Amino acid sequence: MIKKSLVIWLAMGVVAILNAGVRNTFITPRLGEHAGHVISTVTGCSVFLLLIWLALPWIRPASRRDLWLIGSLWLAMTVAFEFLAGHYLFGNSWERLFADYNVLRGRVWVAVLAVTFFGPAWMGRLRGIR
């Protein structure tokens, strides 16, 4: 189950990269940075939920506990990647990385983290995993 969860997390990474490409190429130049951020967050979260829905039968979590374990793993890996790769590989300042968590300034990135964490439990419930 864990190995399959890691494969899906990598697939979510591919989705995130494609989503960012669409945002940077089409949305932000036409609507601005803030609108691009919000629209990209909504579309990314929606595709993540669909991917989770489709992947759960393949992952085969046996219980709600497994679903929470998957969400916890994905959340930890996402935050670690965001900060470690964001800073050390992509050269973003810590200030810029933390700025994406400022909901009071209109940053909605935390919705991605919520879907990453709660998504398996939400989609598992819809699929009848108890």
The answer as to whether 45 is a domain residue is yes
Check residue 105 and report its DSSP letter. Answer: G
What predicted TM-score, i.e. pTM, was given to this entire model? 0.92
Q: How many domains does the chain have?
A: 1
20 assigned to some structural domain: yes
Residue 68, pLDDT score:
98
Residue 95 has pLDDT above 90, yes or no: yes
In a domain, 10, yes or no: yes
The answer to whether 38 touches 108, Cβ cutoff 8 Å, is yes
Q: Is 66 exposed, middle or buried (0-12, 13-18, 19+ CB in 10 A)?
A: buried
Residue 66 lies in a domain: yes
pLDDT: which is higher, 58 or 105: 58
Distance CA 48, CA 61 (A): 17
How far apart, in whole angstroms, are the C-alpha atoms of residue 34 and residue 80?
Answer: 24
| Rounded average pLDDT over 75-103 | 93
Q: Which domain holds residue 45?
A: 2-125
What CA–CA distances, in Å, run from 43 to 18, 85, 95? 11, 23, 25
Task: Determine, yes or no, domain membership for 130.
Answer: no
| pLDDT value for 113 | 97
Asked if residue 71 belongs to a domain, the reply is yes
In this predicted structure, the answer to whether residue 100 has a pLDDT above a threshold of 90 is no
What's 63's DSSP letter? S
Q: 18-63: per-residue pLDDT in tens?
A: 999 999 999 999 999 999 999 999 999 999 999 999 999 999 999 9
**Residue 49 within any structural domain of the chain:** yes
Angle in degrees, 0-180, between the axes of helices 64-80 and 110-126, rounded to the nearest 10: 160
CA dist 49 → 2, 53, 106, 126 (Å): 18, 6, 22, 11
